[in-house]
């Protein structure tokens, strides 16, 4: 594997982790999004990643799609004074676990940082090779 391939593969990993962070931020922003009981609740987003050319060492990863991670039924909360309350006083909220989202955010941030560190180290190696080759 060349230095350029290492940078490319780490770049694909950073992109997947950034998309994961985007999905988590959407989920956290919608934790308390209320809807009428006649509508579906906000559904948690989950990023699906897949290997590209698995086993060759040259492919990296990519986002295969975004899946719904929670039920559209969500959870019903009794709030008779809420503007979206139905005749029985219930409002629909998403079934998104904030503590799980925070844990996933930490993992995604660390993965993103790790991939950027690989890019930085590969760049440093490339620059060192140029200095050696230039007789410096």
Q: What is the pLDDT of residues 78-115, one digit of tens each?
A: 999 999 999 999 999 999 999 999 999 999 999 999 99
What are the b/e assignments for 82-92, b being 16+ CB within 10 Å?
eeebeeeebbb
Quote the pTM value: 0.84
Angle, in degrees to the nearest 10, between helices 3-29 and 98-133: 160
What are the start-end ranges of the E strands in 1-72? 45-51, 61-68
Domain count, the chain: 1
Give the pair of three-digit tokens for residue 134.
């230039």
Residue-wise pLDDT for 49-81, tens only, equals 999 987 776 688 999 999 998 889 999 999 999
């Amino acid at each position: 594997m060349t230095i350029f391939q290492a940078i490319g593969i780490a770049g694909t990993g950073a992109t997947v982790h950034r998309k994961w962070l985007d999905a988590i931020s959407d989920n956290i922003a919608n934790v308390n999004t209320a809807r009428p009981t006649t509508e579906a609740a906000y559904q948690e987003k989950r990023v699906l990643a897949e290997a590209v050319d698995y086993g060759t060492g040259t492919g990296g990863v990519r986002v295969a799609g975004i899946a719904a991670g929670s039920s559209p039924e969500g959870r019903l909360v009794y709030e008779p004074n809420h503007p979206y309350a139905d005749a029985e006083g219930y409002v629909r909220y998403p079934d998104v676990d904030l503590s799980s989202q925070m844990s996933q955010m930490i993992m995604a941030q660390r993965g993103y940082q790790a991939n950027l560190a690989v890019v930085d180290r590969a760049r440093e190696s490339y620059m060192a090779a140029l200095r050696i080759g230039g007789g410096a």
